[in-house]
Amino acid sequence: MNLTPFTLDEISKFQKSEKFVLIPRFLFGENLHYLLPAQSKFLYGILLEKYSICQKMNWIDEEGLPYIICHRTEMADLMCCDKNPILSIKKHLTQLGLLKTHRVGSRTYRIYLFHPEDKELF
């Protein structure tokens, strides 16, 4: 693979496209940056990106909260890793209160992402 440096125009186009994963800054601030390994931050960013399809797929629960459905195998594919570490990454995010799951079928879970309510996100 031949590599070339970014031009200013390419950087501008790249930043406006959806060809990268956004990871919220609050995951790097305060105490979370010590508690969250890079894989956990990356999975959070990937799941947050999937939230963009909630409305199109009508993934809104009875309380009006958006959720996503993303199986462990799909998460592993998106992260380019084996599916075994996904369980521990999800467990870590759950222990910190950043992710909650709700079973809705034999192998299907609704996934809800959380953020600190006292943080300015936008």
CA 66 – CA 81 distance, rounded (Å): 27
78-104: pLDDT as tens digits? 999 998 999 999 999 999 899 999 998
pLDDT at 32: 64
The distance in angstroms from the start CA to the end CA of the chain is 37
pTM: 0.83
76 pLDDT above the threshold of 90:
yes
* Structure-block tokens of residue 1: 């693979």
Q: Which domain holds residue 69?
A: 37-122
- In this structure, is residue 18 part of a structural domain? no
> How many domains does the chain contain in total?
1
The mean per-residue pLDDT over the stretch 103-108 comes to 86
pLDDT at 62: 93
- In this structure, is residue 74 part of a structural domain? yes
Compute the Cα dihedral for 17, 98, 92, 108 and give only its sign: negative
CA 3 – CA 74 distance, rounded (Å): 29
- In this structure, is residue 49 part of a structural domain? yes
CATH value at residue 93: 1.10.10.10
- In this structure, is residue 14 part of a structural domain? no
The DSSP 8-state label assigned to residue 5 in this structure reads P
- In this structure, is residue 84 part of a structural domain? yes
23-72: pLDDT as tens digits? 888 888 766 666 788 999 999 999 998 888 888 899 999 999 999 999 99
61: helix, strand or coil = coil
- In this structure, is residue 113 part of a structural domain? yes
- In this structure, is residue 96 part of a structural domain? yes
CA 107 – CA 14 distance, rounded (Å): 37
The answer to whether the CB of 51 falls within 8 A of the CB of 113 is: yes
- In this structure, is residue 22 part of a structural domain? no
DSSP string of 89-115?
HHHHHHHTTSEEEEE-SSS-EEEEE--
CA 62 – CA 89 distance, rounded (Å): 27
